[in-house]
Amino acid sequence: MSRVKDELQLGCIRLRMIPVLDDNFIYLLDDGEKAILIDAGDAKPVLEIVRTESLTLLQTLITHDHADHTAGCHVLQKELGVLARSPGVIERDEEWLGCRCEVVSTPGHMKVHKSFYFPELSLVFTGDALINGACGRLLGGTASELFRSLQWMASLPGETRVFGGHDYLLENLRFATALEFSVSAVERRRQQYKSNPMMALFATVEEERKTNPFLSCASAVEFAALRARKDCF
């Protein structure tokens, strides 16, 4: 699997997509002085960046309590004194780096799962709820919960770029192809992955609506059946 390591400049905010572990991503947002981190599967690359660039890491926001999203928290606390925020205690919208951060409960993958939506930056961090072209498994939450969480994500402005917790894109597109779902759009995204993997992986909500069969489900029952089918795919 290729590993996408890249960044986006959004006005004075830089977003870095940092591949960690086998196929996870963590995300670092900074304004040149201060930074926040979304998920922390591994501390090492974060420590390298913040020390090299003399950034002050203000906060680690956690989407959900799976080890591949939290394993670096202890080291970040020890080395930088930065406490990670458990998803269970982040309840209200916040402001980070001068940008509004809407904290949205998006259960289903787990009972407690948060997504972080930055409307002014047109970014949403979706953890293991919406993951490039598909969605996470049901590992504690219900199909109805995940269906509703995905419906919220699909309702965001089309230009919003989606940052899930993993790189599962090719496997997910293979599933969409097996369903004969949106054949030309899915193939286009597959080709884009070869030429511009970052844009294919971190597609917009509009592109997700076209290529993600889980967003097209009309009901929680339909969604549950599709999720069960992918579990065996």
Residues that bind Fe ion (CB under 5 A): 66, 128
Cβ neighbourhood burial of 110 (10 Å; 0-12, 13-18, 19+) = buried
Least distance in Å: CB of 218 to Fe ion? 26
Name the residue among 69, 204, 171 with its Cα closest to residue 127: 69
162 neighbors 133 (Cβ within 8 angstroms) = no
Instruction: Output 30 or 167, the one with its CB closest to Fe ion.
Output: 167
Nearest CB to Fe ion, comparing residues 66 and 227: 66
- By beta-carbon proximity to Fe ion, the closer residue of 126 and 182 is 126
Q: How far is the CB of 109 from Fe ion (least distance, A)?
A: 6
Residue 17 CA to residue 197 CA, distance in Å, equals: 12
Closer to Fe ion by Cβ: residue 181 or 202: 202
How far apart CA 199 and CA 191 sit, in angstroms, is 11
Lookup result for tokens 């598909």: 134
Could you tell me the smallest distance in angstroms from the CB atom of residue 65 to Fe ion?
9
Closest CA to 10 of 27, 31, 28: 31
CB of 99 or CB of 135, closer to Fe ion:
135
The DSSP bridge partners found for residue 102 are 117
Nearer to Fe ion, 138 or 179 (CB): 138
Output the smallest distance, CB 180 to Fe ion, in A.
29
Q: What is the dihedral of CA 59, 65, 71, 73, to 10 degrees?
A: 20
Shortest Å distance, C-beta 146 to Fe ion: 12
CB 128 to Fe ion: min, Å? 4
Distance from the Cα of residue 67 to its chain's centroid: 15
Distance CA 38, CA 195 (A): 27
